[in-house]
Amino acid sequence: MRLYIIRHADPDYPNNTITPGGHLEAQALAKRLDSHGLDLIYSSPLPRAHITAQYTADLLHKPVQIEEWAAELGWKIEQDPYTRLSAWDLPGELFRAEASNYGQETWHETPVIEKLALREKFDLIKQHGDEFLARHGYERDGGLYRRIKPNRDKVALFCHNGLGLAWFAHLLEIPLPLIWSGFWMPPSSVTTILFDERSEEFAIPRCIGFGDVSHLYAAGLAVQPRGIITNFD
């Protein structure tokens, strides 16, 4: 199976939709995904993701199936100096300065993360994501996915930067703060995960493309820095 984790197009957060430029991004993305021949299209329930997905669904004549668990994460910091900042937008030095963040069992011990009880919240994302994959023939077994049935489908999930990064961290067994401090999913970007079936028993998630925005360059559209706080230009 190929799993496409796709961030919604350029958001208009105040109006709970996407910007005029975001509609152009979604159209360019749909043309690109049409060439992939998607089998299944899923979306977060939030309008900015669903609207983005609908352009692809209309072009491919396929329905959009809503996954409630794929909504954006409400993990906001409520303490100075980071008030109202999303957890994944915290300065990277908070994570990389702490050796505990490099372990799967200790990453949550950074004080600002610990106060948010993010380990418990992340466990829910892992649970829902694994339930989704089990429906497609891959059952989590420790850090592996056991093949329950052969699957050659191409599956797209339209979601969000925070949710997408969290699920990516789980799939690749990388401590979450290292993903937060080192990766970013641009609006309308495509991250591709191949469930690499090198044996009859297991499939291992392998990233074969992260945050790809080639469709924007092909359409002459600029990459918008939503989620990048400073010095993007």
Residue 134: band (very low, low, confident or very high) from pLDDT cuts 50, 70, 90: very high
CA distance 232 to 86: 18
Tokens found for residue 66: 């809503």
CA distance 102 to 80: 25
- Give the range of the structural domain holding residue 169, as residue numbers without chain letter: 2-73+125-218
CA distance 232 to 27: 24
> In the predicted model, what is the mean pLDDT of residues 62-90?
91
In a 3-state reduction of DSSP, which class is residue 36? coil
Distance of CA 57 to the CA centre of its chain: 19
Calculate Rg over the CA atoms of the chain.
17
Q: Is residue 101 part of a domain?
A: no
| Contact indicator for 119, 177 with CB cutoff of 8 Å | no
Q: Does residue 108 carry a pLDDT above 90?
A: no
| CATH number, domain containing residue 45 | 3.40.50.1240
CA distance 9 to 18: 6
| Contact indicator for 151, 136 with CB cutoff of 8 Å | yes
As for how many domains the chain has, the answer is 1
User: 118-134 and 161-172 helices cross at what angle (nearest 10)?
Assistant: 70
| Contact indicator for 46, 222 with CB cutoff of 8 Å | no
Residue 180: band (very low, low, confident or very high) from pLDDT cuts 50, 70, 90: very high
| Contact indicator for 165, 15 with CB cutoff of 8 Å | no
Q: Is residue 46 part of a domain?
A: yes
pTM: 0.96
In a 3-state reduction of DSSP, which class is residue 16? coil
CA distance 129 to 125: 6
Q: Is residue 131 part of a domain?
A: yes
Q: Is residue 115 part of a domain?
A: no
Q: Is residue 69 part of a domain?
A: yes
Q: Is residue 120 part of a domain?
A: no
CA distance 174 to 46: 27
Q: Is residue 180 part of a domain?
A: yes
Position 203 scores a pLDDT of 95
User: 47-60 and 20-34 helices cross at what angle (nearest 10)?
Assistant: 40
Supply φ then ψ for residue 145, to 5 degrees.
Answer: -120, 120
Question: For the segment 22-71, what is each residue's pLDDT rounded down to a tens digit?
Answer: 999 999 999 999 998 999 999 999 999 999 999 999 999 999 999 999 99
Q: Is residue 67 part of a domain?
A: yes
Q: Which amino acid is at 122?
A: F
Q: Which strand (E) or helix (H) includes residue 129? A: helix 118-134
Q: Does residue 111 carry a pLDDT above 80?
A: no
For tokens 């690749």, name the residue. 172
